[in-house]
Amino acid sequence: MTTGQRTAAWLLGATVLLMVSLLAGAMFGPAGPPPWRVPLAIIDRLPLISIDSGVSDAQWNLIWTIRFPRVVLAALVGGMLSLGGASYQGVFRNPLVDPYLLGAAAGAGLGATIAILHLRDVTDWPVDPTPLLAFVLSLATVAATYTVGAAFGGNRTGATLVLAGVAMVSLTTAAQTYVLQRNSEVVREVYTWILGRLVNASWADIRLVAPYVILTTVILLFHARHLDLFRVGDDEAATLGAPVARIRLIVVMAATLGTAAVVSVSGLIGFVGLIVPHIVRLLAGASYRLVLPLSLLLGASFLILVDILGRIAIAPSELPIGVVTAFIGAPFFIYLLRTKRVAV
Amino acid sequence: MSSLTFADVTVSYGKRQVLSGFNASIASGEWLGLIGPNGAGKSSLLRAAVGLVAHGGVVSVDGSSLSLRSRSQRAALLAYVPQSPILPTDMTCRDYVLLGRAPHVSYFGRESKHDRAMVDDVLTQLDLSSFRDRYLGELSGGEAQRIVIARALATEAPVLLLDEPTSALDIGHQQQALELVSTLQREHGLTVVSAMHDLTLAGLYSDRLALMHEGNVVAMGSATEVLEADRLAEFYGVRVTVHHEPDGTVVVVPRRS
């Protein structure tokens, strides 16, 4: 197989898996019709086709307004975090980096905490204040990290940025912990938010985050070639004509925008952004031209499937999705490390 | 086919000046060897030329200053082989050499069929076709050095800058790598500037040598002119014997004191 055919085969396979995952996500859940009737109901809704699916309008309503938004949101969040993680890893040439490195998650956590504490009773805002404040503080934290890192970084912006990130994350997390300690009555609510949730997903959430995810995805996929150049280091990339600092800024800005958007509605779902890109590398090789699109597609499928498990494992209650991602992802990752060539 | 000129090039790290006013004109197709003890400023000169460190003075190719050119224009003129290139172990040789085409691809563009064909050509020329799908992590030191040179050649830059190209190689592979550069110099008319530690090899392959010491050029000329025992003793602080072979080769042999 040529490289082109191999790429096409992987992308096709990952797309099919995503379709299957989306369908599975719509099929399973508490209440509702028997799972096997759901595909029939979907076919029935297609234009020009009418079959008897045995799904009542009320049941369809449940699938459409509760299950579908949840699956689609899981896909957007999983895809975005994985793509963002892969991009961050590329731009910092560091395999242990996730999209939360420069403070996107810590900022969102602080924003959500403040919103839950002070803006809980606000009802006259056009949008829910919690995701809004999480989004704004997430972006602000990364912007502060970048300003500090770039100001003192000189020629070594990559390494300095990572250190600036460590400092900003500590600072922001400390601020959040302090606020929580002073207001212990909201601890449970804040932690529920932090552990990640897709339970109350609605089409409105999707309309909120989809534009950012789409914009981010387009920008990042266009930079796959540049990320391959970054693999030989900043200096060599520069001598090959790459505007290293500008590429890093654009990639970080794009990845942060998408990450901030999804965490503001889903909470801090961990692990996905770190683990999925590595699974992709172990399976399909380390070229970013394949790692980026495959992380997007497989990350989306991964989170949908994990979410299904989370809702049926201890039904009728649910496991927090952030916990399930770690429980599923870690063993699978260890299995891959054992059986495949280790690539970093 | 391009000439390279350094006019009064200076480099400073903080307050410390590591290169003070380097001047040289390297004719099209000429090979200039930079020699001198560690810290003489050889690497700094090369890094300044490719824009990795800020410098004073002017570096120009065919008479036009590089500082007026964009990064990718500069990259299309100067191919640079660093002292210790980063070789991602899980990158294939073909993908690595393809990086050499980057100066010719626009920001949002991708490599064309021509670029890919060019990479296959270079690999064939350097007798590396069988390495196309091998991973860099599987290569020996000598093979890796040839792949790095292949990447430089893929840029189609007329000027090749090499920083200690053979420091990690055994004597056989040193010679092989330098022969390769020499062949490319002849066949492609490449202008070459290389920083080198082995004085005999430097004299053997370079058309001209520049001996540097603490940021200054202290001697420039043919191997016979530059490689004198007294001078080497003065600037390297070593005792050497210099032999002149009948074919003109200058051999520098260290001696015990």
Residue among B50, B87, B88 whose CB faces A286 most closely = B88
> Are residue A276 and residue A130 in the same domain, yes or no?
no
Q: How many CB pairs under 8 A join A and B?
A: 65
- Inside any domain, residue A74: no
The model carries a pTM of 0.90
| pLDDT reading at A122 higher than 90 | no
pLDDT tens digit sequence for A182-237 = 988 888 888 888 877 787 788 988 998 999 999 999 999 999 999 999 999 999 99
> Are residue A107 and residue A170 in the same domain, yes or no?
yes
> Are residue A294 and residue A284 in the same domain, yes or no?
yes
Which range is least confidently modeled, A27-36, A105-114, B95-104?
A27-36
pLDDT for the residue B80: 96
Percent of chain A with pLDDT over 70: 96
pLDDT for the residue A343: 46
pLDDT tens digit sequence for B99-114 = 999 999 999 999 999 9
> Are residue A249 and residue A315 in the same domain, yes or no?
no
What's the whole-number average pLDDT of chain A? 87
B90 touches chain A (CB under 8 A): yes
- Inside any domain, residue A5: yes
Number of independent structural domains in chain A: 3
| pLDDT reading at A78 higher than 90 | yes
CB contact under 8 A, A235 and B52: yes
Ramachandran assignment for A241, one of left (phi > 0), alpha (psi -120 to 50 degrees), beta (any other): left
| pLDDT reading at B72 higher than 60 | yes
Residue among B75, B90, B96 whose CB faces A285 most closely = B90
Please provide the DSSP assignment of chain B as one string.
Answer: ---EEEEEEEEEETTEEEEEEEEEEE-TT-EEEEE-STTSSHHHHHHHHTTSS--EEEEEETTEEGGGS-HHHHHHHEEEE-SS----TTSBHHHHHHGGGGGGS-TT----HHHHHHHHHHHHHTT-GGGTTSBGGG--HHHHHHHHHHHHHHTT-SEEEEESTTTTS-HHHHHHHHHHHHHHHHHH--EEEEE-S-HHHHHHH-SEEEEEETTEEEEEE-HHHH--HHHHHHHH---EEEEE-TTS-EEEEE---
CB contact under 8 A, B52 and A238: yes
B4-85+157-254: which CATH topology?
Rossmann fold (3.40.50)
Alpha carbon of A92: minimum distance to chain B alpha carbons (Å): 14
pLDDT for the residue A344: 42
Alpha carbon of A79: minimum distance to chain B alpha carbons (Å): 23
pLDDT for the residue A328: 79
pLDDT tens digit sequence for B165-210 = 888 788 888 898 899 999 999 999 999 999 999 999 999 999 999 9
Q: What is the ipTM of this complex?
A: 0.92
| pLDDT reading at A100 higher than 50 | yes
> Are residue A226 and residue A192 in the same domain, yes or no?
yes
pLDDT band at A156 (very low <50, low <70, confident <90, very high): low
For chain B, what are the domain ranges? 4-85+157-254
> Are residue A117 and residue A212 in the same domain, yes or no?
yes
pLDDT band at A153 (very low <50, low <70, confident <90, very high): low
Higher pLDDT, A60 or B75: B75
